[in-house]
Chains A and B, each alone.
Chain A
Amino acid sequence: MLITYIIRRILWSVPFLFVVSLIAFALIQAPPGDYLTTFAATLAQSGDVVDQERLELLRERYGLDQPFIVQYWKWISGVLVGDFGISFEWQQPVSNLIWERMALSVTLATSTLLFTWAVAFPIGVYSAVKKYTLGDYVITAVGFIGLAMPSFLVALVLMYIAVVFFGTDVSGLFSEEFEKAPWSLAKIGDLLSHLWLPVVILGLGSTASLTRIMRANLLDELHKPYVTTARAKGLSELRLILKYPVRMALNPFVSTLGWAFPQLISGAVITAFVLSLPTSGPLLLQALLAQDMYLAGAFILLLCCLSVVGMLVSDILLAVIDPRIRYR
């Protein structure tokens, strides 16, 4: 039952990804000009002068003078065999550039998601059960601030405070000595010591919203007759809440996985940019701004795959925790 469901979902994602790749490629191509006009314009901004003859030559070499569908076909037929093409800007195969960054992005997103759950779950339960107490008010106030503040702004403020008052630099994911070092236990430790700040910054918004969702859902359940019945039968309060209404309220929590994951990755772009994190965000943004289309296309395609996988995982989890979905 579950197996056929999963297989069906996976099969459906194939045409979906194809359409996504087409749209992504079209969107990257949509702005006027191409990589080379952007290249010339960016250099002009810094007072540099680009050789016009050189530009024409490169345009021909990169195939930018060919029609859209030809360019798309060249790209997608390579992708199918694992060749993502060449990044115009870096003159390197795209696959050399993206994997380490994608891995760091996924690490960051996973950590943030775990952090969000770990914080939002107990706090949400607490503020629903202790509705309208001082604790609930404090949590609600903090939650609203978290919802209202864009995370990149939080990052900028924290960076400014760190530089001006403490004279330290909080950007990046590694200390200078570990940036180029091969992976080792010490490097992982260094990563962890830097990771918490972006995790907190990125997690703030989604923690706040999840807390609100948990609180609202639980409040709906707390006054239903089955709760009263269970309480009347003498079940301990803690056990009662965790076993029945919380389980009911958990559904939206799990289904957030589907959208929270891609949202964390794409939402982290600006924050990662501000904090100079070596994740996929800044490189994706640069690639888009530079119209470095194969690089940008590879990122977008991979992010779409992640969303598809995230959705799938969340649907499976839902089916696992909620028999009603499984048997429908």
Chain B
Amino acid sequence: MSFTARALLRSCAAGALLMTALPVLAADYKEAPALAAAAKAGKLPPVEQRLPEHPEVVKPLDAIGTYGGQLRFGLRGSSDHNHILRMVGNQGLVRWDPAYTKLVPNVAEKVDVSPDGKVFTFTLRKGMKWSDGKPFTADDILFNVDDLILNAEFSAPQPRYMTGGVPMKVEKIDDATVKFTFTEPYGDFLAELASPLGQHPVLYAKHYCSQFHPKYNANIADTVKANNATDWKNLFLQKCGDIEIPARWGNVDRPTLDPWVVKDPYTGGATRVIMERNPYFWQVDTAGNQLPYIDELNAPIAQDVESLILAAIGGRIDFGLRHLDAPANRAVLAENRTKGGYEMFEASAVGGTNMVINLNLMAKDKELRELFNKKDFRIALSHGMNRKEIIDTALLGDGEPWQNGPFENHPNFHKRIATQYLEYDVAKANALLDGLGLTKRGPDGTRLLPSGRPIKFKIDVIPTLQPEQVDMLQLIERQWAKIGIDMDVNSLERTFFYERTSNSNDHDAAVWGGQASWVPGEIPQQIVPVHHDSRWGIPWVQWYKTGGKQGEEPPASVKERMKLYDEARATTDPEKRRALMLKIADIAADEFEVFSVTKALPTYGIAKTNLKNVPATMPSSWYYPTPAPTLPQTWFWAK
């Protein structure tokens, strides 16, 4: 175990992983009463045969729980499949610890990383079973990797499973050991596996899903036809799903490794999703009780958020964060705490900000592009924002002026990028703009460009994403008018926003959420343009993604950061990785490409008062993903 810990420590962020593997003897395993009865009646094997030889021993947060009950959470009728993923489906080979600072083994019992960071050897849990009782072995991983992940017909191999353009190789050492080999060092690989998007190696059960694969099913055409599918890929997705599509939760027969399995599926037109305990789940608590404690998840499907809030107030939701945590709902949820029988918990931001302003440094309008690329112009805009006024009016006083990047208490905190040019100083802003030669003004006081055209640009925003962004921008619009800059808030429907910004680069400027802590697995899109949410340099993103074939070649400082980012992803030494990220931040701070108003605020969810082992505060992030690493399978109802 300690070697595992060292290996993980080496390859991951700072902090030590020490799993307290208290010895639990097989004979001591206990199970839910319903399962015990089924085992006694001969319908299920006894619990010690259902568990692997070495189940993961989990120390519950506060107390050893008791079995029983139902956990209700509110789903929405469309595109809410990731809500289920976040509650039960984050069972990758490794996962994040509850604090989101280090990686711990999950499906794998341990992982060894070669010193050069190219070879990852996973030891699986011997005797582990899928939810239908069939063994989970190295063959399943080989099926997932060779027949699906790296099968170009099924899907183009994703960058996460490649280094230097070459896909990884996976070998089976024995039934419980697999070796992943890369051609180049890839220190971030484990963090990628811990994120919800990195679970492909253990997503599909070979014994079930191979029947929908042409390599294993000679009569695939008949199966396709019998299921009304268009081709085998459609059939496969229909039956076995994929990480991020609703069909993952639409088939009750698909075996999984999750604590609860689907009983009433999430399909078009469903009104409720029910998940029941997986009798073969591979975790036990420190007293030898097989997890999960709670018998059943019950998720009624509401069509709109208002009915979800009504349900929460009415006490019909036991745990809720997603959809409910919009700042506008906080007052009404807090007011009805007693009536609804719940308490509020904090979902803390990992760092960064809720609204980062991206001037488009590659704007198609040449004059604006030239202007935006002047650092003094960006500094002037930053000094021209009265952050205190914005926080007091648009955010009801909640916030603290902030530019970009992780908070003070985080190891990746970078003081300059977070706090430079924050003070409100109209005189300084005016002086900077005058210094750029923008001294002529039009009749309304707006400064004029050299061509005589007023400085006027639009900031694109999606009003439904975070409604307060529009309020903040409207205040900024007025504040910038005082320094002679005419900015318009351009509210766009979300699809149109994506089209205009990330796809066609037609925007002058845009805002986006900028939560960031620069840990492995997370994309630092506000300090290096490598993702379609880096709206300050979309052609550079394309250049990076296509290896220089498309897009436009970025300037030296951006290229330097891209190089450092690649190095950071390769390194297995967390200290070195941290140093590299801070070096990127150094350059980003020098360039000062993006700026923002305030620190990201925590949001608040609800948990029933007698639901135990729910932490009072948890990180809020997709890469974590909230609340999965707090282990809902250890939550229980106080008697």
Contacts and interface: CB of A to CB of B under 8 A. Distances in A.
A286 to B, nearest CB: 4
Interface string B71-84: 00000011110110
A265 to B, nearest CB: 16
A209 B6 CA distance: 76
B250 A43 contact: no
B245 interface: yes
Given A89-B268, A92-B250, A54 B158 contact: yes
A222 B365 CA distance: 72
Interface in B300-330: 300-304, 306-307, 310-311, 313-314, 316, 322-323
Given A41-B497, A92-B250, A278-B271, A51 B244 contact: yes
Given A39-B79, A45-B465, A57-B156, A278 B269 contact: yes
Contacts of B316: 169
B499 interface: yes
Residue of B228, B269, B503, B621 ringed by the most chain A CB atoms within 10 A: B269
Contact of A91 (B80, B246, B264, B531): B246
Contacts of A87: 268
A176 B272 contact: yes
A38 B493 CA distance: 10
B306 A156 contact: yes
A167 B339 CA distance: 10
B307 A57 contact: no
B237 interface: yes
B495 A50 contact: no
A210 B233 CA distance: 53
A42 interface: yes
Given A43-B82, A169-B314, A90 B268 contact: yes
Contacts of B246: 89-91
Contact of A90 (B229, B247, B495): B247
A179 B270 CA distance: 9
Contact of A276 (B271, B495, B497, B513): B271
B455 interface: no
Determine the main DSSP class of B at the interface with A: loop
A33 interface: yes
Given A33-B495, A46-B82, A54-B244, 7 more contacts: A37-B499, A41-B462, A42-B79, A54-B155, A89-B268, A90-B246, A278-B269
A32 interface: yes
B322 A46 contact: yes
B328 to A, nearest CB: 14
A285 B245 CA distance: 19
A285 B496 CA distance: 19
B176 to A, nearest CB: 29
Given A41-B494, A54-B158, A159-B307, A92 B78 contact: no
Interface in A71-124: 83, 86-87, 89-93, 95-97, 100-101
6 contacts: A39-B79, A47-B621, A49-B523, A92-B267, A96-B228, A159-B310
B77 A48 contact: no
B532 interface: yes
Contact of B302 (A33, A42, A276): A276
Interface string B214-244: 0000000000000011100110011001111
A290 interface: yes
B465 A179 contact: no
Nearest to A173: B271
Interface in B113-171: 155-156, 158-159
Contacts of B78: 42, 89, 286, 289-290
A25 interface: no
Contacts of B620: 47
Given A90-B246, A91-B237, A276 B303 contact: yes
Contact of B250 (A52, A90, A95, A282): A90
A171 B272 CA distance: 13
B307 A276 contact: yes
A241 interface: no
A61 B233 contact: yes
B200 to A, nearest CB: 10
Contacts of A42: 78-79, 494
Interface of A: 31-33, 37-54, 56-57, 61, 83, 86-87, 89-93, 95-97, 100-101, 156, 159-160, 163-164, 167, 169, 171-172, 174, 176, 179-180, 272-274, 276, 278, 282-283, 285-286, 289-291, 295
B498 interface: yes
A49 B622 contact: yes
B495 A41 contact: yes
B499 A33 contact: yes
A172 B302 CA distance: 9
Interface in B622-636: 622-623, 625
A53 B158 contact: yes
B550 interface: no
Contacts of B532: 52
B303 A47 contact: no
A274 B621 contact: no
Nearest to A78: B230
A51 B197 contact: yes
Contact of B271 (A39, A47, A86, A179): A179
Contacts of A97: 267-269
A243 B244 CA distance: 65
A47 B622 contact: yes
B464 interface: yes
A43 B243 CA distance: 13
A45 to B, nearest CB: 5
A91 B495 contact: no
B238 A44 contact: no
Contacts of A38: 494-495
Given A90-B246, A169-B314, A290-B78, A45 B158 contact: no
Contacts of B242: 54
Nearest to B495: A33
Contacts of A164: 313
Interface string B496-517: 1111000100000000010000
B156 A53 contact: yes
A52 B496 CA distance: 17
Top 8 A-B pairs ranked by shortest CB distance?
A33-B495, A41-B494, A91-B247, A286-B78, A42-B79, A90-B268, A97-B268, A93-B228
Contacts of A48: 82, 244, 622, 625
